[in-house]
A = this chain, B = another copy of it.
Amino acid sequence: MNMSDQEKELRVLRDQIDQIDQQIQSLLNQRALCAQQVAEVKQKHQGQGDAVFYRPEREAQVLRRVMARNSGPLPAQDVARLFREIMSVCLALEQPMRIAFLGPEGTFTQQAAVKHFGLSAITAPLGTLDEVFREVEAGTAHYGVVPVENSNEGMVNHTLDLFGRFQLSIVGEVELKIHHHLLMKAGADRHHVTRIYATQQALAQCRRWLDAHYPSVERITVATNADAARQASADAEVGLGAAIGTELAIELYPLQVAVRNVEDQAESSSRFLILGRQEVGPSGKDKTSLLICAHDKPGALYELLAPFRARGISLTRIETRTLSGPWNMVFYIDFEGHVADPEVQALIKELESESVELKLLGSYPQAVL
């Protein structure tokens, strides 16, 4: 076989691909037309201003169906990611989505916003969590994205505090894989490290690696990734300091990655919440988040958890928080289920009777991708 036979074979295949591409393109535009009609129906019945174009539960269902019916050769995860972009592009045609996130640009929170809303959404970085809540409540942004498990210790408290002050719901969650690295000044010998700076979360996520490689090196907890990088770069003048952090931290400090991916779990992930003004219907696989203020008595937490166990409802997360204001012992609880489920409604009724105050933060589809 010579070169021209190969060329002939390739030409046939490429013509096939071009045919397929034309069909895909035509279907994409047909899909956009249908999405436009959906928008028209909504506007006719709900009025221009009130119509809600983005339905998190519907999007989650589409993605789950795509993953379930995928027969390959493309991996289901990849096809679902393409569909998220397709939906993002169709939605942008109706209503360009403005997403406020805790900036600046280039951070993981922006990555989370893009992962959830696709590249067709307009992401607007804001300087503080308060501003994100405020813009979503005012309608200047359609949705907001905030970190809920962040290296910055104070952030979760602050986010929960803001849920108390603003009338917003959680309408979705995003998980993002984030890697930690050992960061050192260029040329510093990693065998002579005497101090390692990191946030509490980073130290926890890399504990086994640190125990194995730096069993007797002092670990210093700092408030933020930026602090860790700054202190390590100052220390490194005498060749002793290192930091554990993400690569964002080395953008402005004179540090390099000495060892990549030092987290214990091959894929540690951070979680972000999507804030909105709407309530989200059930998607079939949902989570509910609530804040609950317990009676100040022994065994209060145990009593709060008993109803979950009795009803076989899975808790996915529980955090104890000290909030500003009148509440003083508050639990943040995530569990599987939707407020539309009768079982969940009964649970909430029971919890309400046993607590000082209960605030439902929202029911929303579990992260699909």
Contacts and interface: CB of A to CB of B under 8 A. Distances in A.
A356 interface: no
A253 B32 CA distance: 43
Contacts of A83: 21, 24-25
Interface stretch (A63-71, A152-160, A265-273, A345-353): A63-71
A24 B31 contact: yes
A120 interface: yes
A50 interface: no
B9 A34 contact: no
B6 A34 contact: no
A89 B93 contact: no
A294 B317 CA distance: 68
A31 to B, nearest CB: 5
Interface string A239-256: 000000011111111001
A106 B251 contact: yes
B41 A10 contact: yes
Contact of A79 (B16, B28, B104, B252): B28
A106 B248 contact: yes
Nearest to A75: B93
A93 B41 CA distance: 40
A309 interface: no
Contact of A31 (B6, B17, B108): B17
A35 interface: yes
A123 to B, nearest CB: 11
17 contacts: A10-B41, A10-B42, A13-B41, A20-B31, A20-B34, A24-B28, A25-B69, A25-B79, A29-B73, A82-B85, A82-B86, A104-B251, A105-B246, A106-B248, A127-B256, A248-B251, A251-B252
